[in-house]
Amino acid sequence: MCIALSTQSVNKGRITYMPTPVGHTLAGLAIWAATERSKSLSLKDMLNGRHLGWAALCVTASNIPDADFISITRSGLEFSGKHHHGVTHSIGFAVGLGVMVWVWGKIRKSEFAGRAAALTTFCYAIHIVMDLFNVDTYPVNGIGLPALWPLTDTYFIAPLFSGASRADILSFHNVVAVGLEVLIYGSILLASLMWRRGRGNSARTKKPRLSP
Reported as half-sphere exposure (CB side, CA atoms, 13 A), residue 32 has a value of: 22
In the predicted model, is pLDDT for residue 7 greater than 50?
no
Phi, psi of 170 (to 5 degrees): -95, 20
What DSSP character marks residue 109? T
pLDDT tens profile 158-178: 887 766 666 666 677 788 888
Could you read off the pLDDT of 126-136 as tens digits, one per residue? 999 999 988 77
Instruction: Using the predicted structure, report yes or no on whether residue 8 has a pLDDT greater than 60.
Output: no
Binned at pLDDT 50, 70 and 90, residue 101 comes out as very high
Helix axes 113-132 and 49-63, enclosed angle (nearest 10): 40
Highest mean pLDDT, choosing among 40-49, 101-110, 152-161 = 101-110
Burial class (CB in 10 A: 0-12, 13-18, 19+), 209: exposed
Which of 45-49, 154-158, 174-178: highest mean pLDDT?
154-158
Is pLDDT of 210 > 60? no
| Cβ within 8 Å of residue 162, ≥6 positions away | 17, 134, 135, 173, 177
pLDDT-derived band at 94, boundaries 50, 70, 90: very high
pTM listed for this prediction: 0.81
pLDDT averaged over every residue in the chain? 81
Q: Do 173 and 159 touch, CB atoms closer than 8 A?
A: no
Q: What is the pLDDT of residue 137?
A: 72
**What is the per-residue pLDDT for 189?**
92
Contact partners, residue 96, CB within 8 Å, separation at least 6: none
The widest CA-to-CA distance across the chain, in whole angstroms, is 77
Average the pLDDT over 28-48 and give the result: 75
Give pLDDT tens digits for 59-87.
999 999 999 888 777 777 777 667 788 89
